[in-house]
Amino acid sequence: MAAFSIFFFCFTISSHSLYTFAMTSDTIFMNQTITDGQTIVSAQETFELGFFSPGNASENRYLGIWYKRLATGTVAWVANRENPIRNKSGELTLQTDGVLVLRDSATNSIIWSTNTKGKTRNPVARLLDDGNLMVIDDEKDNGPENYIWQSFDHPGETKLPGMKLGWNFESGIVTNFTSWKSDDDPSQGPFMVYMNFNGLPQIYQNNGDVIQYRLGSWNGQAFTARPAARPNSIYRLEYVSNEREIYTKFDSINDSILSRLTVTPSGITGRYTWVNRTQGWFLFSAFNTDTCERYALCGVYGACDSTQSTSCGCLEGFTPKSQAQWDISDWTSGCQREVALDCGVREGFRKYRFMKLPDTRQSWYDTNMTLEQCNAKCRNECNCTAYATLNIKYGSGCLLWYEELIDMRVIPRDGQEIYIRMAASELGKVFCF
Ligand SMILES: *[C@@H]1O[C@H](CO)[C@@H](O)[C@H](O)[C@H]1NC(C)=O
Ligand SMILES: *[C@@H]1O[C@H](CO)[C@@H](O)[C@H](O)[C@H]1NC(C)=O
Ligand SMILES: *[C@@H]1O[C@H](CO)[C@@H](O)[C@H](O)[C@H]1NC(C)=O
Ligand SMILES: *[C@@H]1O[C@H](CO)[C@@H](O)[C@H](O)[C@H]1NC(C)=O
Ligand SMILES: *[C@@H]1O[C@H](CO)[C@@H](O)[C@H](O)[C@H]1NC(C)=O
Ligand SMILES: *[C@@H]1O[C@H](CO)[C@@H](O)[C@H](O)[C@H]1NC(C)=O
Ligand SMILES: *[C@@H]1O[C@H](CO)[C@@H](O)[C@H](O)[C@H]1NC(C)=O
Ligand SMILES: *[C@@H]1O[C@H](CO)[C@@H](O)[C@H](O)[C@H]1NC(C)=O
């Protein structure tokens, strides 16, 4: 009898703790509803999901994910960015079909939903310690890609470690990052960091339709605006390009160091790390470090050099298209050749070193060709204006440009090499490849 009652006692306790675990757990179960004031917390208590009001001045309620342990309440993701709830009547429910639905119970209107389709047996929504909210089917074998929906596929202004920026050809999902309108308003602002897939894929930042900055293309170890792979203790960059997807992401080297990339409402894209000592975010690095980052500042065949007193110069063998404009620091009209090309057989290439490679939207590339094969291909096509090594880490592959070359800058020490097509008479002067 005694043994039985102990067993019974234990059973009651564990059943009770299971119940409370469910209420403060990392998981929303089928048919479960989270109301304003309730939250779920990831297993290691890194992130929390619930309702919040942004900034100081807003009463609007949003469903979001924030860092659980940071007093600053930094928000990492917002579900209903464009569609706030006016009062504390929000309700998040996981339906039996695996769709997460956010309702305003005051009006019984649907504010936001995950819009997924398909049959599910036992869907659950789980907040992971990397900040990803995933809807999975608990009764299926869940490989890492075998999810129904995840917030990482629908980022806002913050890129967390593990989040992809790119294009998944199978799901059709394109991910990019857009600023909030203001600290009080998470709806989409004008600034966007995205990947363009024309030619060799590149990362840009836009303000509306205008390109502001170009981080550029991947060179095997980094992006060409920051071409060196500088070892650091915070994060590791990765770029993947295969038949299923193209993306870049960064991973934390040490999970106890929090790191995020954020596009602020004023258009500053920065990598921030959390500093325990100051209890604040530290701007570790930013896209726009100097004047030379401004897209196409020096026009075609111009190169920006922040070590010079005037930012813009023409590449050797080129002169300003409009000297008058250059004289007043209006460089955008760029440079023209001193000797025009005529597609003659003796045309060749001049090597320029320490460069941020030009815009690759009008480019072609091959991962296997050698630099010699690259030279031959470019030489044989009159409209090919330049070539370079695709992967400088392994010294392999071929990158070819067509059209005029734009948005170059001089990067002392770390810049890349590019071979630019020149008339025969230009080549004798300095260097003949
Ligand atoms: C969930 O709700 C639906 C509709 O109300 C109901 O048919 C179903 O039995 C519920 N499932 C569970 C596991 O509670
Ligand atoms: C909130 O208000 C304080 C004090 O006025 C200000 O310092 C802080 O920047 C504000 N924060 C936001 C997010 O607006
Ligand atoms: C919530 O807001 C709606 C309008 O947005 C209003 O009709 C309703 O009365 C409000 N409910 C409460 C409890 O304040
Ligand atoms: C940004 O992402 C959205 C959502 O996936 C997509 O519709 C849009 O085309 C993307 N824009 C760019 C410029 O990549
Ligand atoms: C991670 O960083 C913490 C704090 O700086 C440090 O104590 C720990 O040793 C680091 N872990 C690793 C694996 O480097
Ligand atoms: C910062 O503090 C948190 C909480 O005390 C701790 O878990 C983390 O390891 C610390 N990080 C570093 C880099 O010291
Ligand atoms: C490039 O080379 C790799 C290994 O040598 C090979 O597997 C791959 O099929 C080649 N790709 C192309 C496009 O030729
Ligand atoms: C360049 O010229 C070749 C023929 O020489 C042509 O096949 C190709 O389409 C042209 N490429 C561009 C981008 O104009």
Q: What confidence tens digit (pLDDT) does each residue in 290-336 have?
A: 999 999 999 999 999 999 888 999 999 999 999 999 999 999 999 99
At 376, list the tokens. Answer: 């031959």
Q: Are residues 357 and 392 in contact, defined by beta-carbon separation less than 8 angstroms?
A: no
The residues spanned by each domain of the chain are 15-283, 291-426
Q: How far is residue 270's CA from residue 259's CA, in Å, rounded to a whole number?
A: 10
Decide: residue 191, CB within 10 A, 0-12 exposed, 13-18 middle, 19+ buried: buried
**Mutation choice for ligand 6 from 276, 281, 284, CB with most ligand atoms inside 8 A:** 276
> What's the pTM value of the predicted model, to 2 decimals?
0.90
- Residue 143 is predicted with a pLDDT of 67
pLDDT at res. 24: 62
If you measure from the C-alpha of residue 381 to the centroid of ligand 8, how many angstroms do you get, rounded to a whole number? 7
- Among residues 47, 80, 83, the alpha carbon closest in space to that of 65 is found at 47
- Gap between the Cα atoms of 423 and 350, Å rounded: 10
Q: Which of 339, 312, 305, 316 is nearest to 326 (CA)?
A: 312
**Ligand located closest to 343 CA:** 8
**CA-closest residue to ligand 6 atom 5:** 276
In the reported structure, the alpha carbon of residue 105 is separated from the centroid of ligand 3 by a whole-number distance in angstroms of: 9
Token digits for 159?
């890129």
Sign of the alpha-carbon dihedral angle for 94, 99, 100, 101 = negative
Count other Cβ atoms within 10 Å, centred on residue 9.
Answer: 10
305 with 313: CB under 8 angstroms?
Answer: yes
Tokens of 378: 């470019």
Nearest-angstrom CA–CA distance, 380 and 185: 54
Question: What is the SS3 assignment for 134?
Answer: strand
Average pLDDT for consecutive 10-residue bins of the chain (433 residues)?
A: 33 35 76 96 96 94 97 94 96 96 96 88 94 88 79 98 97 97 97 98 98 98 93 93 97 94 96 95 89 96 93 96 95 96 92 98 97 97 97 97 97 96 82 41
Beta-strand relationship, 75-78 and 62-67: antiparallel
Pocket of ligand 6 from Cβ distances under 6 Å: 256-257, 276
The neighbouring-strand residues paired with 103 are 91, 110
- What residues flank ligand 5, with Cβ below 6 Å? 254, 256-257
Note the pLDDT tens digit of each residue in 375-418: 999 999 999 999 999 999 999 999 999 999 999 999 999 999 99
Which one, of 186, 149, 202, lies nearest residue 362 by Cα?
202
Please state, as a whole number, how many other Cβ atoms lie within 10 Å of the Cβ of residue 305: 19
Q: Which residues, at least 6 apart from 386, have a Cβ–Cβ distance to it below 8 Å?
A: 349, 358, 378, 400, 401, 405, 418, 419, 420, 421
Pocket probe mutation, ligand 8, options 200, 381, 403, max atoms within 8 Å of Cβ: 381
Q: 309 and 380 in contact (C-beta within 8 Å)? A: no
Secondary structure (DSSP) of 378-429: HHH-TTEEEEEEEETTTTEEEEEEES--BSEEE-TTTPEEEEEEE-HHHHTT
Distance separating alpha carbons of residues 385 and 426, to the nearest angstrom: 15
Name residues contacting ligand 2 (CB within 6 A). 55-56, 183
Task: Give the Cα separation of 263 and 194 in Å (integer).
Answer: 11
Name the closest ligand to CA 86: 3
- Any idea which residue has 């179960």 for tokens? 29
Ligand 1 centroid – CA 415 distance (Å)? 61
Looking at domain 15-283, which of 2.90.10.10, 3.20.20.140, 2.60.120.560, 3.40.50.2020 is its CATH number? 2.90.10.10
- At residue 142, the pLDDT reads 65
Tokens, residue 187: 């709806």
Sequence-distant (6+) residues with CB within 8 A of 424 are 344, 346, 347, 348
